[in-house]
A and B are shown apart, each in its own frame.
Chain A
Amino acid sequence: MTRLTRRTFLKIAVGGAAVVGGPGAPRAQAKTFKIGAVHPVTGPLAEPGQACRLGAQMAVEAVNAAGGIKGKGGLKLELLVGDTQTKPENGRVEAERVVNQGAQMLLGSFDSGSTNAMVSVAQQKRVPFLIDIAAADPITANVAKSVKEGQQKVQYVYRNFPTASSFGRKAVQYFTEIFAEAKVTPKRVVLMYCNDLFGQSQSRGFLAAYKVAKPAWTLLEDDVIAWPEPPSDLSTEVSKAKALKPDVISPITRPASAQLLLPEIRKQRLDILGIIGPGSPGFYEAGQIAVLKDDVEYAMVSNPWANFKNPRTNQVADEYKKRSHGKTFDTNSGYSYDAILVIADVLERATNLDDADAIVDALKTTNYTGGLMQYAGPIHFNELGDNPNAVTTMTQILGQKAVAVWPREAALQKFVFPRPRA
């Protein structure tokens, strides 16, 4: 056997790279409309990223099974999937790749960093981009600004997802309405949050919205309690909260910290009206409820939520559960599913699918009511390119199940607040 020298190694490496990087075998296929769906399917955000991808795939199958884009001769949709590996630079790389392979629209990409990297590709290459999930306000606002200032001609980026600032606004609104409905005015609401990117942005949005709204209830703005994420113990933080004599605990958690926080609140016997989170994971997931049991009963949290009053949502959720090995049809799979439905609607109405600007014109005039998520009205895009009707829903754990309880039009059950005393 010959020794592997550096030279032979390099030859092999270069040869291998050429094989991998070379063009694939030509495929004979009917004409389809290609959508590049880029999500973090590997890396730290793999789980939600895979949910997004599966949601989008199921929606594409559903649209195709129903006859494709009827107004365009039954044109079928095709998903070109991409993976950001949870790295911003790959948002750009993958967007370039799918566009290169013929994607005429982009979809993505869950984390705001990768999404903003994709925005530059969409604007550079004039490819309409519908953001299915990403909350940072500047993503669309920046593009709208540069179009307004004349630095870009057309805005190619639109978003059907609540923005970070709207999360806070809606949470404050729901708190106010629920307290009013329950005829209580809590004077000591204590905000607790995980001190990472997500927790900071959520708590900041909530505090800012509270300042603007000036509601009748009182948030202890100067006594906000943060913990480093992931925490190993939250007993100190909970004792601090207890010392503030709270009426309501308002936590922003991650799944792991929720598992520490809620049992600790029980152990330290906090005498409170209830636990209401302004928006975070940790309460509603099937796995979390199984672990937290009674500790999470009656806890409320405001999150993007599917509209289970719609029979079609229940059908899709059942199919999703089968195909994802038992997972809930939630924010991620739901918004990606809806994004494809919106795209299908846009393609029906666009005058010319080979002209990106015609697709954008159709996007701008969207007025779609077939979405499976809970909206405050039809899906449409405002001057920033955001859907102002993409809102959160207050859910509560009732009978060990997460149920929509507010706003009234979304509620499947009446909320229980104040929670019954143990």
Chain B
Amino acid sequence: MKWALGLTALAVLLGLPTVLSGYAVTIFVLIFFYAFLAQAWNIVGGYAGQLSAGHAAFVGVGGYTAALLLDRGITPWLGMLVGAALAAVLGSIIGYLGFRFGLRGFYLVLLTVAFAEVCRILASNIDAVGGAVGLYITFTGNPRQFQFQDQRAYYYLALALMLLGTGVVALIERRRFGIYLTAIREDEGACEALGVPTFKYKMLAMVVSAFLTGLGGTFYAFYLFSLQPNTVFGIPLSVEIIIRAVIGGAGTLLGPILGSFILTPLGVPISPPHHQARLAMTAPEKRTAPAPISNRPPTRPAA
């Protein structure tokens, strides 16, 4: 029954782009992409219960690596793996520091946020990676460069990423690895007393999670065509990732997907354009008063 349901859902998702508009396809791309990131976070944050609030760092490392390698003529299909590997290295450093010294809960949150912030500040100040202005990727539509003229290619790519993430989590869940992670989340002390090498498994969870998130970074870079330290390393992106897993159900296989299906469309601006434009044109006096001008963010373009 479960299999039949899953296969039907998959068949529907595979067939959807043929009937959907370009706009709806874009929203699905984001749903799958965030579901993938949330699924990756789910391994360490959901199953193992280690609250990482700095996953944006892995997205950034993955994206920047692939984009910079493309400048040197290396296709992002390869750069993606290099980026993910670097993200995994960063994950292991954060994991080692956090888990070796037994940081839990709030303290681990602080550590992970701190690392993401360090990455953001570094990227903002190193000219070789574009500094605060960031990197702008040339749109070529060349599949070798991880770019596509047809929007549906991104749809299938994002879907594949989501399925990959879910597949990895399903595999982990069914193995001793997954059971250990759940046990660590429920009672780490008891786990250790029973001889589970908790440090090792928490590290593994972090590395796998960081690797997958790093893969997502390349997709981000080549879907939006620019990388800015504030957007890819910033706390808001980390929160976007976590909140999907938490709302859908952290530590469950389908939770991140459900969360992304609920939250991603909500995050997209819902503005009935005809209505709004007409309102503004015919009754300007009805608009709400704008905020005062002083002490506001820049009134000039950011870059």
Residues of B within 8 A of A259 (CB): 294-295
Task: Name the residue among A50, A60, A89, A259 with the largest chain B CB count within 10 angstroms.
Answer: A89
Q: Which of B21-29, B110-118, B160-168, B198-206 contacts its partner? A: B21-29
Verify if A280 is at the interface (C-beta below 8 Å from B). Answer: yes
Within the complex, the shortest CB–CB distance from B255 to chain A, in Å, comes to 12
A197/B124 in contact, CB under 8 A? yes
Give the size of the chain B interface in residues (CB under 8 angstroms): 62
CA distance A138 to B298 in the complex (A): 21
Verify if A17 is at the interface (C-beta below 8 Å from B). Answer: yes
Residues of B within 8 A of A353 (CB): none
B224/A200 in contact, CB under 8 A? no
Residue of A nearest to B268 (CB): A93
Known: A93-B268, A124-B150, A200-B133. A119 touches B139 (CB 8 A): yes
Task: Name the residue among B134, B138, B280 with the largest chain A CB count within 10 angstroms.
Answer: B138
CA distance A287 to B287 in the complex (A): 21
B299/A110 in contact, CB under 8 A? no
Residues of A within 8 A of B272 (CB): 24
* Pick from A13, A111, A125: contact of B22, CB under 8 Å: A125
Q: Which B residues between 1 and 32 are near A, CB-CB below 8 angstroms?
A: 21-27, 30
Within the complex, the shortest CB–CB distance from B281 to chain A, in Å, comes to 6
Known: A27-B274, A113-B226, A117-B226. A201 touches B268 (CB 8 A): no
Verify if B292 is at the interface (C-beta below 8 Å from A). Answer: yes
Verify if B290 is at the interface (C-beta below 8 Å from A). Answer: yes
Residues of A within 8 A of B131 (CB): 200-201, 204
Residues of B within 8 A of A51 (CB): 299
A residues with a Cβ closer than 8 A to B are 13, 17, 20-21, 24, 27, 42, 44-48, 50-51, 53-54, 57, 60-61, 78-85, 87-94, 96-101, 110-113, 116-117, 119-120, 123-125, 133-136, 138-139, 142-143, 145-146, 149, 151-152, 161, 164, 196-198, 200-201, 204, 254-256, 259, 279-281, 285-288, 290-291, 303, 322-325, 327, 330-332
B residues with a Cβ closer than 8 A to A are 21-27, 30, 124, 131-134, 136-142, 147, 149-151, 223-226, 228-231, 262, 265, 268-274, 276-277, 280-281, 284, 287, 289-303
Sample (13) of A-B pairs whose CB atoms are under 8 Å apart: A20-B265, A48-B298, A51-B299, A80-B277, A87-B231, A96-B22, A96-B26, A117-B224, A117-B225, A152-B139, A198-B301, A200-B124, A259-B294
